[in-house]
Chain A
Amino acid sequence: MDLFLDALALVLTPMAIASIGLGALVGLIFGSIPGLTFTVALALALPITFGMDPVPAIGLLLGTYIGGMTGGSVSAILLGIPGTPSAAATVLDGHQMTKQGEASIALGTAVIVSVFGGLFSLLVMIVSVDLVSRLAIGFGPAELFALVLFGMSTICGLCGDSLIKGLISGVLGLMIMTVGIDAIDGVPRMTFGSINLLQGVNLLVAMIGLFAVPFIIEAFSQKGERDIQAQRVAKVRAELPSLKMLFGKISLILRCSALGTGIGAIPGTGGAIASFLAYDHAKRFSKKPQSFGKGNMEGVIAPEAANNAVTGGTLIPLLSLGIPGDPATAIVLAGLMIHGIQPGPALFMNNAGEVYGMYVAVALAYLWVLALQLMGIRIFVHVLKIPREMLAVAVLVLCAIGAYSIRNSAFDIYAMGAIGLLAYVLVAVRVPITPIILGMVLGPTLENEFRTAMMLSGGSFDIFLNSPTVLVFFALAAGVIGLQVVAELKLRKKTKEKIEMTDA
């Protein structure tokens, strides 16, 4: 209780409250603009936190994350274009409701269930983080290596359409992070005599490059292709749904929130998968499944409750094990580390106050989101009218400032540009970039824990084979990869059958 009161005192300062509110606002704006995801907002917000105290800094990042996740529904409902991938399922019925003149009630319901889903996942998170941390506190280097390997395999296997491309992407991320001075032996690796490369590729620089630069290039190359639809939705507001309606759907909201939290806790999955699963679940159990896709309110409630519940779910492995489940939480992880908070099993021993502060910050961020969405929806509609290419020019300047401010070095700006170009090319050739960033985040831990384990065992692999925990993680990793291979083979067989049928 004392810890909680201390955390309240840390978060309920004007600076922290304002930071969380600013983050929620920026996240909502970035999340609601199609193509400008909240991951970009997080990458740009990170350098701003350098001069802040830990709690307001983390509050700013969490506010951006939560605001962004909620903001995606605005353009999904109003324009039929999801602001974020996790709002894609909301388009199906949300935009139909707009066409039927029910945009205001759709927006109001979306924000209410989003906040409910988020707060539900926060409660689960509070219980789970401590529990998982206690379980993981006894992990040695071998177990940590196996855990990170499992996390990597899940992420590479589950994101994107092709397992092999996911694995290639993950390996590229791991390779990038080996550049620089080796942490154990102090040997320079792949630096080619460059002083700038001795420190390696900075994680934050890489994140800004990976997420912001492709957006700038796309906005510049698709200039003037979007601004059509914002005009006709200018006179909209968020209308609160009736309590009777909400209570009537409470079972669905609870089930979808639980589904979202569970999905979020699995690294590599994320909001898009959760929202589509929730949509499918709602349709299956609906009394009127035929009305889905034609403006059914349940088609808005289910994905919105689920995708916001993902926020708490993804924070469970992040805080308790140090494994980020998606790019957004990878940036949050980087922010935590910058401010001296090392997520993982020992988190509660070293930074209990800050962790409780984060819980309060998440709750506060949802309150900010609720207030901003209900009162400021008209402003977001106007934001949707700003041409994307103009925003891209501003993002270009902010990216450069962000990259430069990390080490006051122009080299980081060049590195950001090069990594950004690489990311643009990879996205264009359908190689997912999420595993790159997670490979970069988890790569150093993977290598250091393996080498430490081998030193402890005197070069014997028995240290991995004698631990049941290690074997369980290895089996899970093999299972994830195996399942993905089977799924891809099945898909290939189906396509072959289609070909044969066409021929026949």
Chain B
Amino acid sequence: MTNRVQDIIVATVLLLLGAIWTWLVIDTIRPGFGDGDIGARAFPMVFGILLMVFSGVLLASKLPRSDRDENLFVGDMEIPKSSRLDWLPALLVLGQICLYGFLLEKIGFVLATPIVVLLAMVVSLRERSAVKLLGMSLGLTVGSWLLFEKVLGIYLANGTWLNLG
């Protein structure tokens, strides 16, 4: 996918987001009473409209296209690796974060942390060394428990299903 096509997709998505946002704001938030009462609706609505306007400008600036542009603009070259979207690792990380949040509440920090660290290392990093897996999962759990719970006195989650303290 070229940068130009990417920009068109981004602008379209944001334009739609702005439209849905504005519609929801008008539909769910009551306006102010006037005479200086701007109300809670005005700013979210203005922001939604601004998003639509800016996305529209971005879309309009990317739509006209000539063959010559294609050959010269950096924006139409193959996207470098650094700006390519790697969806699989991104979704895996999001899944691991959500799982961590869920497990923290259900089985507590002491059990949830090694499970998530193991999962991240095995699934995302494809790590198979038992020493590294064990060292990282136990080291991070014990290290952060000592630092946050014992040294800094920050509450770490206890589980509602299982509680190891």
- A interface vs B, CB < 8 Å? 47-48, 50-51, 164-165, 167-168, 171-172, 174-175, 178, 182, 184-185, 187, 189-190, 213, 216-217, 220-223, 389-390, 393-394, 396-401, 404-405, 408, 410-411, 413-414, 416-418, 420-421, 424-425, 427-431, 446-447, 450-451, 454-460, 495, 498-499, 502-503
Q: List 25 A-B contacts (CB under 8 A).
A: A168-B14, A174-B47, A175-B21, A220-B120, A221-B89, A223-B125, A393-B121, A393-B140, A396-B97, A396-B120, A398-B144, A405-B154, A410-B105, A410-B157, A421-B93, A421-B94, A425-B85, A425-B90, A429-B83, A430-B3, A456-B36, A458-B35, A459-B34, A498-B72, A503-B68
- With beta carbons under 8 angstroms apart, the residue of A51, A397, A458 that contacts B113 is A397
In whole angstroms, what is the CA distance A48 to B102 when docked? Answer: 22
In whole angstroms, what is the CA distance A410 to B97 when docked? Answer: 10
A421/B140 in contact, CB under 8 A:
no
Chain B residues near A221 (CB-CB < 8 A) = 86, 88-90
A413/B100 in contact, CB under 8 A:
yes
> When A221-B86, A396-B97, A499-B69 are in contact, do A455 and B152 touch as well, CB less than 8 Å?
no
Chain B residues near A431 (CB-CB < 8 A) = 10
B104/A413 in contact, CB under 8 A:
yes
B140/A171 in contact, CB under 8 A:
no
Chain B's interface: helix, strand, loop or mixed, by majority?
A: helix
Asked if B98 is at the interface of the complex by the 8 Å CB criterion, the answer is: yes
Closest Cβ–Cβ distance, residue B37 to chain A (whole Å): 7
B125/A459 in contact, CB under 8 A:
no
Task: Knowing that A178-B44, A408-B155 touch, tell me 13 more A-B residue pairs with CB under 8 angstroms.
Answer: A165-B58, A213-B97, A221-B90, A393-B117, A393-B120, A400-B97, A401-B109, A411-B101, A414-B101, A458-B35, A459-B36, A495-B73, A499-B68
Closest Cβ–Cβ distance, residue A21 to chain B (whole Å): 15
A175/B101 in contact, CB under 8 A:
no
In whole angstroms, what is the CA distance A404 to B144 when docked? Answer: 13
Within 8 A of A (CB), among B1-42: 3, 6-7, 10, 14, 21, 24-25, 28-30, 34-40
A400/B90 in contact, CB under 8 A:
no
Looking at A174, A401, A404, which has the most chain B CB atoms within 10 Å of its CB?
A: A401
Chain A residues near B29 (CB-CB < 8 A) = 187, 189-190
Chain B residues near A414 (CB-CB < 8 A) = 97-98, 101
> When A171-B50, A189-B40 are in contact, do A393 and B125 touch as well, CB less than 8 Å?
yes
Closest to A222 in B: B81
In whole angstroms, what is the CA distance A228 to B152 when docked? Answer: 37
Task: Flag B37-62 by CB within 8 Å of A: 1 or 0 each.
Answer: 11110011001101100110110010
> When A47-B154, A190-B28 are in contact, do A451 and B98 touch as well, CB less than 8 Å?
no
B40/A185 in contact, CB under 8 A:
yes
Chain B residues near A51 (CB-CB < 8 A) = 152-154
Chain B residues near A175 (CB-CB < 8 A) = 21, 44, 47-48, 51
> When A393-B140, A416-B97 are in contact, do A187 and B30 touch as well, CB less than 8 Å?
yes
- With beta carbons under 8 angstroms apart, the residue of B25, B125, B144 that contacts A389 is B125
B90/A164 in contact, CB under 8 A:
no
In whole angstroms, what is the CA distance A368 to B72 when docked? Answer: 50
Chain B residues near A430 (CB-CB < 8 A) = 3, 83
- B interface vs A, CB < 8 Å? 3, 6-7, 10, 14, 21, 24-25, 28-30, 34-40, 43-44, 47-48, 50-51, 54-55, 57-58, 61, 68-69, 72-73, 81, 83-86, 88-94, 96-98, 100-102, 104-105, 109, 113, 116-117, 120-121, 124-126, 136, 140, 144, 148, 152-157
Chain B residues near A459 (CB-CB < 8 A) = 34-37
B156/A220 in contact, CB under 8 A:
no
Closest Cβ–Cβ distance, residue A164 to chain B (whole Å): 5
B155/A220 in contact, CB under 8 A:
no
- With beta carbons under 8 angstroms apart, the residue of B47, B61, B73 that contacts A171 is B47
In whole angstroms, what is the CA distance A457 to B36 when docked? Answer: 7
> When A51-B152, A178-B44, A216-B93 are in contact, do A410 and B55 touch as well, CB less than 8 Å?
no
Chain B residues near A390 (CB-CB < 8 A) = 136
Closest to A394 in B: B140
Looking at B35, B69, B154, which has the most chain A CB atoms within 10 Å of its CB?
A: B154
> When A165-B58, A414-B98, A429-B6 are in contact, do A171 and B51 touch as well, CB less than 8 Å?
yes
Chain B residues near A410 (CB-CB < 8 A) = 101-102, 104-105, 157
Closest Cβ–Cβ distance, residue B13 to chain A (whole Å): 10
In whole angstroms, what is the CA distance A399 to B140 when docked? Answer: 13
Closest Cβ–Cβ distance, residue A165 to chain B (whole Å): 7
A217/B90 in contact, CB under 8 A:
yes
B100/A400 in contact, CB under 8 A:
yes
Closest Cβ–Cβ distance, residue B77 to chain A (whole Å): 13
Closest Cβ–Cβ distance, residue A378 to chain B (whole Å): 23
- With beta carbons under 8 angstroms apart, the residue of B7, B61, B156 that contacts A401 is B156
Chain A residues near B6 (CB-CB < 8 A) = 429
> When A221-B89, A408-B157 are in contact, do A172 and B51 touch as well, CB less than 8 Å?
yes
In whole angstroms, what is the CA distance A220 to B125 when docked? Answer: 6
Looking at B43, B86, B148, which has the most chain A CB atoms within 10 Å of its CB?
A: B43
In whole angstroms, what is the CA distance A162 to B28 when docked? Answer: 34
Chain A residues near B101 (CB-CB < 8 A) = 400, 404, 410-411, 413-414, 417
- With beta carbons under 8 angstroms apart, the residue of B44, B55, B90, B126 that contacts A189 is B44
Closest to A191 in B: B28
Closest to A186 in B: B40
B36/A171 in contact, CB under 8 A:
no
Chain B residues near A458 (CB-CB < 8 A) = 35-36
Looking at A216, A393, A413, A456, which has the most chain B CB atoms within 10 Å of its CB?
A: A393
Closest Cβ–Cβ distance, residue A318 to chain B (whole Å): 24
> When A220-B92, A405-B154 are in contact, do A413 and B97 touch as well, CB less than 8 Å?
yes
Chain A residues near B156 (CB-CB < 8 A) = 401, 404-405
Closest to B126 in A: A223
Chain A residues near B140 (CB-CB < 8 A) = 393-394, 397
B10/A429 in contact, CB under 8 A:
yes
